[in-house]
Amino acid sequence: GAGVSQSPSNKVTEKGKDVELRCDPISGHTALYWYRQSLGQGLEFLIYFQGNSAPDKSGLPSDRFSAERTGGSVSTLTIQRTQQEDSAVYLCASSASATDTQYFGPGTRLTVL
């Protein structure tokens, strides 16, 4: 079917507000990843879901960041009390298994004023 989709494509928020970013992976993909790419920076791993296993949260930068994956499909990344340094493009990717090609969504550009 369709590729990985993310919403919203752009989000502007005020410092201190909470935001939710959504990722719809490719149907049937068991692995789902969240990354962050700041302006001029490389790709930063945030969190990884694989099937029913406990997620790998080792990349989350602070306890303001959390993510869920409901029913093994859609995932939501939540950032509480946003800060200006959270401004970045948040990318979601899914793959059929841990070793397979990751297919990336178009990203959500988050701007915290």
Among 48, 67, 79, 108, binds other proteins (CB under 8 A): 48
Q: Is 25 in the site for other proteins (CB under 8 A)?
A: no
Stretch that binds other proteins, among 7-15, 64-72, 78-86, 90-98 (CB under 8 A): 90-98
- d(CA 7, CA 102) in angstroms, rounded, equals 18
Q: Is 23 in the site for other proteins (CB under 8 A)?
A: no
- d(CA 52, CA 30) in angstroms, rounded, equals 9
* DSSP-based three-state secondary structure for 6: strand
CB of 21 to other proteins, least distance (A): 15
Q: Is 85 left (phi over 0), alpha (psi -120 to 50) or beta?
A: alpha
Are 107 and 3 in contact by the 8 Å Cβ rule? The answer is no
Interface residues toward other proteins, by CB under 8 A? 31, 33, 35, 41-43, 45, 48, 50, 56, 58, 91, 93, 95, 98-99, 101-102, 104-107
